[in-house]
Amino acid sequence: MFTFPKIHHFPPFYTQQQNATVLENQLNEWCSLLLSYCQHYLVYVLLPQGAIMAQGSEETAPPLFENKALDRSAPPHFRRAIVSHLIHKLGRGVYVDPKHPDAGVLVFWRTPDEWARMLCDAADRMGHVGSVLTVYELILLDDAADDSFRNLDYHMLARAVDVLVKQGRAQVFRSDDGRIEGIKIV
């Protein structure tokens, strides 16, 4: 069960502050909460207004941007400001499709570099360096290559693999439509 921080129970937290310094701190607090929440519930993609779009956990996630006990919720424009801050100021997310921001935001509670490092470590630990692993083997099987990757969002996996390819540490095998089908860690 996720434990919300004390600030989540502070009514002004849900109102966008006017003072620039206070607003910056407020946005940072919201982003910290958002990242912790997403990591706990394995949320990889949010809609820009904050609704969960892709979740790897089977545990039901409570609403992030509201506190029913306080009868308070962050309004949609403020939720968008929080997500924008996460992307543009903190670099902890990207639009799944930059041409269509409403398609969702990929949340980096672990950065692509961190996922790439974990992927290499798992391949090394399991003796798969030099072997081709399918996306299915990595993230979809009940006995996935590593529990860390079970139900990992495809877009996040693709970003991690791109990091490895740029470092010369992986080869990618793609389908006719360009999607990654296999990965060889070298």
Q: From 91, 107, 123, give the residue that closes a domain.
A: 107
| 77 shares a domain with 124 | no
Banded model confidence at residue 143, pLDDT cuts 50, 70, 90: low
Tally of structural domains, the chain: 2
Domain boundary among 76, 107, 138: 107
Q: What is the pLDDT of residue 49?
A: 78
CB-CB neighbours of 122 under 10 Å: 19
Given a cut of 70, whether residue 112 has pLDDT beyond it is yes
Helices (H) and strands (E) in the chain, counts: 5, 9
| Residues 97, 63 share a domain | yes
Q: Give yes or no: residues 121 and 173 share one domain.
A: yes
Residue 55 lies in a domain: yes
For residue 53, pLDDT beyond 60: yes
181 part of a folded domain: yes
Q: Is residue 1 part of a domain?
A: no
Higher pLDDT, 85 or 126: 85
State the CATH number of the domain containing residue 145. Answer: 1.10.10.10
With cut-offs at 50, 70 and 90, classify the pLDDT of residue 139: confident
Residues 116, 103 within the same domain: no
The answer to whether residues 87 and 105 touch, using CB atoms and an 8 Å cutoff, is yes
- Higher-confidence residue of 52 and 166: namely 166
Q: Are residues 126 and 54 in the same domain?
A: no
Q: Is the pLDDT of residue 140 over 80?
A: no
Question: pLDDT at residue 144 above 70?
Answer: no
Q: What is the model's pLDDT at position 128?
A: 87
Query: Does position 28 have pLDDT exceeding 60, yes or no?
Result: yes
Shared domain for 17 and 69, answered yes or no, is: yes
Kindly state the tokens that stand for 132: 């081709």
Residues 86 and 117 in one domain: no
User: 122 or 11: whose pLDDT is higher?
Assistant: 11
Helix segments in 68-153, DSSP class H: 76-84, 112-125, 135
The domain that holds 84 is classified in CATH as 1.10.10.570
Do 89 and 120 lie in a common domain?
no
Residue ending a domain, choose from 78, 107, 136:
107
Same domain, 87 and 16: yes
**Is there a single domain that holds both residue 17 and residue 103?**
yes
Range(s) of the domain holding residue 52: 6-107
Look at residues 167, 158, 6, 28 and name the one whose alpha carbon lies nearest to residue 90: 28
Note whether 16 and 56 are same-domain residues. Answer: yes
Edge to edge, the sheet with strand 105-107 lists 52-55, 43-46, 105-107, 93-95
Q: Are residues 94 and 126 in the same domain?
A: no
End-to-end Cα spacing for the chain: 38
Predicted TM-score (pTM) of the model is: 0.89
pLDDT of 145 higher than 90: no
